[in-house]
Structure 1
């Protein structure tokens, strides 16, 4: 079932649930690949790989959110044949949110949980100079500031000349996207935030709750904006707990249903 749009590092036969993970701006499947071996039994990790990276390196990256999400929906539909959880970091959270909007609009299966990581709520207005409009020099300086790209990559002019179109397309998505609609998903939302993230203050993370009917849970994580890389074990431990809680909940429901059938 694997195609260019996603990578399954450790296929799970008859998986009970899929964890679908979307990357941050400029990121790819590498962030999530090592997670697969650390997830509970029965969980299959699906790492989304948008055009412009990995096996999609020769394909231009999307700079239009609607086109990206429509293409993602078509590619990911076969993966929605069983329970799943959506996880996205930074830009990935907003792409995941728009994907969720499409699922509800098309009356498709919704995720069991929605996990937003390192991102302000989708209705947050941008107040800073759009990164995608900066000169190459300013753009690279901003990448250095947010500390999401290795210094040796930023210093490699030949490599950066290859990566800049992808990075600019992704940052254009991040700069121009803002959700202005009205929606309430019948889901629980968990939001992860870096305690030292200057661009995504912890006090703003509860705003994600505006779009969900069930509880919003905010989880502070040590580190800055890219805590998903620097504090990987902490993030995976949290994700494992959420998956285990879901599994216990499902098993409890099955036991209650079985007991009810016996007493009829």
Structure 2
């Protein structure tokens, strides 16, 4: 691929920083620039307090993404991160007239079908952690170190509260093409729930079931990275063929 690269914004999944996707950077460069969109309270923003309101969080993320849209871009989100990626994509269109090359939503039901666990904020730390460990949608790295898991408790509680506060309907659509992905053994999302993302785009839609469970890319991410390269290389080639003035939504 010649010319400018595509920026791939990565939204974090429950219980993990967006930086978990940084290892993709070396393998996707120079054509795809992996750019984590970090939430307050984690990763490079660890000193900030976790955001407890969805709208302020989205304003924060959209502002950060808009400042970095110096080239064509795509978005990837997994689990609750998929819903965040969709909302960021929609607001970039509405507020900044910026349309993604593609929106990748992984391991998540369509927004109007999203269902989350019962409240757990009232539980003491040990009970909360025990319940969280049984939830397949929480990133397994959140519990890799028992001491760090306790330090991350405020972050994890905030994540789950944000996820439960999410509400959306079919009135919100994007002009970006959408690819919905999930592991064939993912217990958190059915094929029908995944396929319902079709109603959220005015462009093309693709559904892919891949091998693995909820975090289908953790054992082997090669297929996912090849999907990025194939899609975004083709998208950039189209940009190179047609002048911007001739491209429409």
Same fold (TM over 0.5): yes
Q: Which residue of 2 aligns with 1:53?
A: 42
Shift of 1:125: 4.5
Computed over aligned residues only, the root mean square deviation of the Cα atoms, in angstroms, reads: 2.4
Q: Which residue of 2 aligns with 1:19?
A: 8
Q: Is the 8 A contact 1:153 1:160 kept in 2?
A: yes
Q: Which residue of 2 aligns with 1:62?
A: 51
Shift of 1:218: 0.6
In the aligned structure 1, how far is the partner of 2:4 from the partner of 2:90?
A: 25
Among 247, 250, 258, the alignment partner of 2:236 is 247
Specify which structure has the bigger relative contact order, considering alpha-carbon pairs within 8 angstroms and separated by 6 or more residues: 2
Q: Which residue of 2 aligns with 1:3?
A: none
Q: Is the 8 A contact 1:122 1:179 kept in 2?
A: yes
Shift of 1:56: 1.5
Shift of 1:37: 1.7
Would you say how many aligned residue pairs link Structure 1 and Structure 2? Answer: 240
In the aligned structure 1, how far is the partner of 2:221 from the partner of 2:228?
A: 11
* 1:98 aligned onto 2:97: no
Q: Which residue of 2 aligns with 1:10?
A: none
Matches within 5 A, 1:140-179: 140-145=129-134, 146=136, 148-150=139-141, 153=144, 156=146, 158-179=147-168
Q: Which residue of 2 aligns with 1:123?
A: 112
Q: Is the 8 A contact 1:222 1:231 kept in 2?
A: no
- SS of the residue aligned with 1:227? coil
Structure label with greater radius of gyration:
1
> Structure 1 unaligned runs (5+)?
1-13, 258-264
> Structure 2 unaligned runs (5+)?
none
Are the structure 2 counterparts of residues 97 and 134 from structure 1 closer, same or farther at C-alpha, using a change threshold of 3 Å? farther
- SS of the residue aligned with 1:106? helix
Q: Deviations over 1:104-160 (max 9, x none)?
A: 221421111111111111111426424556553443234323173248636x2x322
In the aligned structure 1, how far is the partner of 2:122 from the partner of 2:190?
A: 24
Q: Is the 8 A contact 2:106 2:180 kept in 1?
A: yes
Shift of 1:194: 1.2
